[in-house]
Amino acid sequence: MIALDLDLTEPLVHARADMAEFWRIQRRHRPIFWQPGTAAASGFWVVCGYHAAAGIYRDHVRFTSQRGNVLLTLLAGGDSAAGDMLAVTDPPRHTVLRRLLTPALSRKALCALANPIRDRTRRLLSDRVGTGPFDFAREVASRILIYTICDLLGIAERDHELLVTLTKQALGSEDAAQPRIDAMAARQEILLCLLELVQEQRRQPAGGLVSALIAETFEGAPLTDDQIVTNCYSMILGGDETSRLILTNTAQAFVADPSLWDAFGEVTDLPTAVEEILRCFAPTMHFGRVARTDVELPGADIAAGDIVTLWNISANRDESRFPSPDTVRFDRKPNPHLSFGFGPHHCVGAHLARLEIGIVLDELRGVTRVIRPAGTPRPLYSNFLHGYATLPIELA
Ligand code: HEM
């Protein structure tokens, strides 16, 4: 019998095998509940039902993102980038800032990236067919995605590998024993790299998002170095780990269940399949808000100032929204998953993520039909991301 009072701030809790059962029971009996605080951290609301979560995502009037949007920052009392970084800025400032970033990430602008992503992926994968075990997470997934973000920002190829390493450390999720200080140092190093990039491109524009932001104005003035760095940083953090992990999680699911791999091989409507992959394997377990006013919801009297966390990992399996939610159906339509959030903060990188997932998995099934486990994957330790840090496999 699973305990219903698990501490959701504890990373090890999320690696438990019975978490799906935990969420199923919570959805049935209390789709919104209060997790009590401890001496070290305040309590917070846990929203695990689909409809309540979608409603709160949409409601930027009663729920603010400016005091953080993940447990780490919400419990720390706020995010130092609030009001400057897209994800932790409320409308109307958010709307203006978002307009500066969306052109580079529009479906049309991304068309130019499709071929380079496909070429890189094909090279990486075909080199590994029939050559023995390798780590899919580190040798494939981590490379393709960070390289694309770097291209988007205009970061030189020589710095791509450094950024792969730093982004992994920055979220501190790979190793249960990694000290917090290492994650902070990695974050500082990324910010410094980006500051140098901005200063370099102020002298000599090189194209890409950084040059575009330098040329823009925000509320009547040019963007400051800090504003540009902050938003480029959010692209790296928002874009790299999420997309890398969804690929790793999906490949792990294929390895664990050969019938799923066979079914994916038969898929003809790839965009529809990608939506189901997003629903089932997205690594971001929750996002969050702070209530600006008292809000009454069924079963919850939320007080102004309360932290409210929205558990996509549960909402995406809500039986009242998705028929047979625990079955992966590559032809599921409609598929209104919350993996990219909902409302004003809906993931600005969603088109890029869809493009990358579609291309990488399509190339994977194109290079081989034989994918085998080659060791035990190492799970992540995080209360925000779930999935695998390593995935030893073999392609034959
Ligand atoms: C926002 C998930 C890929 C950059 C979000 C949000 C979610 C999300 C749920 C909303 C957060 C909130 O409401 O507080 C994902 C997932 C991805 C992915 C699951 C991959 C599978 C990307 C990529 C980029 C990116 C590729 C960058 C190129 C961002 C940014 C925001 C955001 C900047 C803030 C948007 C705003 O506040 O208006 N993402 N994301 N994400 N994402 Fe993504």
* Listed residue (38, 389, 100) closest to 231, CA to CA: 100
pLDDT, position 305: 98
Mutation choice for ligand 1 from 347, 357, 359, 384, CB with most ligand atoms inside 8 A? 347
Segments making up each domain of the chain, as ranges: 11-395
For ligand 1, atom 23: residue with the closest CA: 239
Distance of CA 380 from the midpoint of ligand 1 (Å) = 19
Q: What's the CA-to-centroid distance between 379 and ligand 1, angstroms?
A: 22
Q: Is 288 in the pocket of ligand 1 (CB under 6 A)?
A: no
DSSP class per residue in 118-172 = HHHHHHHHHTTBTS--EEHIIIIIHHHHHHHHHHHHT--GGGHHHHHHHHHHHTT
The pLDDT value given to residue 178 = 59
CB distance 51 to 322 below 8 Å: no
Cα–Cα distance measured from residue 13 to residue 33, given in angstroms and rounded to the nearest whole number: 17
Fold type of domain 11-395: Cytochrome p450 (1.10.630)
For the CA of 98, the closest atom of ligand 1 is 38
354 backbone φψ class: left, alpha, beta (φ>0; ψ -120 to 50): alpha
* Ligand 1 touching residue 86 (CB < 6 A): yes
- What does the alpha-carbon distance between residue 260 and residue 257 come to, in Å, rounded to a whole number? 6
The ligand 1 atom nearest the CA atom of 94: 38
Distance separating alpha carbons of residues 33 and 35, to the nearest angstrom: 7
CA distance 268 to 34: 44
- Asked whether the ipTM of the predicted complex exceeds the cut of 0.85, the reply is yes
Q: Does ligand 1 lie within 6 Å of residue 349's CB atom?
A: yes
Answer yes or no: is the C-beta of 340 below 6 A from any ligand 1 atom: yes
Rounded Cα–Cα distance for residues 199 and 197 (Å) = 6
Q: 86 and 69 in contact (C-beta within 8 Å)?
A: no
Alpha carbon of 381 to ligand 1 centroid (Å) = 20
Is the CB of 234 inside a 6 Å radius of any atom of ligand 1?
Answer: yes
Q: What is the DSSP string of 49-93?
A: SHHHHHHHHH-TTTEESTT-SSHHHHHHT--TTTTTSGGG--TTH
Ligand 1: does its nearest atom lie under 6 Å from the Cβ of 273? no
Ligand 1 pocket check for 82: Cβ under 6 Å: no
Atom of ligand 1 nearest to the CA of 235: 27
Using only C-alpha atoms, the chain has a radius of gyration, in whole angstroms, of 21
Contacts of 39 (CB under 8 A, 6+ apart): none
Distance CA 204, CA 131 (A): 43
* Tens-binned pLDDT, residue by residue, of the chain (396 aa): 677 889 999 999 998 889 999 999 999 999 999 999 988 889 999 999 999 999 999 999 999 999 999 999 999 999 989 999 999 999 999 999 999 999 999 999 899 899 999 999 999 999 999 999 999 999 999 888 888 888 888 888 888 888 888 887 776 555 555 566 677 888 899 999 999 999 999 999 887 889 989 999 988 999 999 999 999 998 987 888 899 999 999 999 999 999 999 999 999 999 999 999 999 999 999 999 999 999 999 999 999 999 999 999 999 999 999 999 999 999 999 999 999 999 999 999 999 999 999 999 999 999 999 999 999 999 998 999 999 999 999 999
Query: 348 CA to middle of ligand 1, Å?
Result: 6
Kindly report the pTM of this predicted structure: 0.95
Sign of CA dihedral 296, 297, 300, 302: negative
**326: which 2 tokens?**
């625990």
Report the atom number in ligand 1 closest to the C-alpha of 289.
Answer: 14
**Closest Cα to atom 15, ligand 1: which residue?**
340
CA 264 – CA 260 distance, rounded (Å) = 6
Please indicate whether residue 352, judged by its CB atom, sits closer than 6 Å to ligand 1: yes
All residues at 6 or more sequence positions from 111 whose CB lies less than 8 Å from its CB, including other chains: none
Name the residue with the closest Cα to ligand 1, atom 4.
238
Which two three-digit tokens encode residue 353?
């993520």
The SS3 of residue 114 is helix
Which tokens sit at 253? Answer: 């699911």
Give me the pLDDT at residue 206, please.
83
Neighbours of 204 (CB within 10 A): 7
235 CA from centroid of ligand 1 (Å): 8
pLDDT for 221: 93
Q: Cα(299)–Cα(32) distance, rounded to whole angstroms?
A: 7
